[in-house]
Amino acid sequence: MKSDGMKLGIEAARLLAVADCCEIAPGLSEIELQRIEQEYGIEFADDHRAFLASGLPVSQPPEEGDMWENPWPDWRNGDPKGLRERLESPVEGIALSVRRGYWHPSWGQRPEDADEALQQALGLLARVPKLVPVYGHRFLPVGHGSHGHPILSVWGTDIICYGTDLVDYVNHEFDDFDAHTPDDWHPQATVSFWRDFLPKT
């Protein structure tokens, strides 16, 4: 793990603890992280990995209108089926949009038959970079040796950046957004395919 990625994850975990917005369990051990990555076929980015090793956010008091019973993925004791569903939700959201007529420009000509179009899209979506849930429908791309990716808020094809990196994201999600947002705040996604949905600046 690169030291810059470790520093970023540790600082994000510190800011979350200071925000005092959720219960934080002891961090995931290296053995636990390896087990999770093997079980779910993912690789946490270095900053995400250090964040989870510093302390595992597991719950927070529910608020009116919450979409999630618990927006934090509990990688230690969570229901494996539920965790897999959360891992699959970005691609499932795109697939649902395909059923409604969406077609990514890089996929070439859309088949006229709806079922054939969906099957073709699912085959192509199986090859896009994986995203890992951080909180609710906020995601980071996978990848050992990588860090500093913007946090993506993914809801079907409605995708926006929610932080320039993990530290910026924690400030925005759990503190005063405006206090941490410079006038030239225009983060751009760094991961292929998913960045295509963001407005160009």
Return the amino acid letter for 70.
N
Residue 1 has pLDDT above 70, yes or no: no
pLDDT in tens, 115-141: 999 999 999 999 999 999 999 999 999
Run of H or E residues at 159: strand 158-163
Residue 191: predicted pLDDT: 86
Residue 112 has pLDDT above 60, yes or no: yes
- Binning pLDDT at 50, 70 and 90, where does residue 9 land? very high
Residue 201: predicted pLDDT: 57
Mean pLDDT of 181-197: 76
Residue 190: predicted pLDDT: 79
Interstrand relation of 158-163 and 151-155 (parallel, antiparallel or unpaired) = antiparallel
Instruction: Give the end-to-end CA distance of the chain in Å, rounded to a whole number.
Output: 32
Instruction: Confirm whether pTM is higher than 0.85.
Output: yes
From residue 117, alpha-carbon distances to 111, 129, 192 in Å are 5, 21, 22
Of 100, 99, 69, 101, the closest CA to residue 85 belongs to 69
Q: How far is it, in rounded angstroms, from Cα 148 to Cα 71? A: 22
- Binning pLDDT at 50, 70 and 90, where does residue 185 land? low
pLDDT in tens, 81-110: 999 999 999 999 999 999 999 999 999 999
**DSSP line for 58-118:** EE----TT-S-S--S--TTTS-HHHHHHHHHHHHHHHHHHHHTT---GGG-SPPSSHHHHH
- More confident site: 117 or 176: 117
Residue 182: predicted pLDDT: 63
- Binning pLDDT at 50, 70 and 90, where does residue 177 land? low
Low-confidence winner among 28-42, 88-102, 181-195 (lowest mean pLDDT)? 181-195
Q: 85: how many CB neighbours lie within 10 A of its CB?
A: 12
Mean pLDDT of 51-72: 77
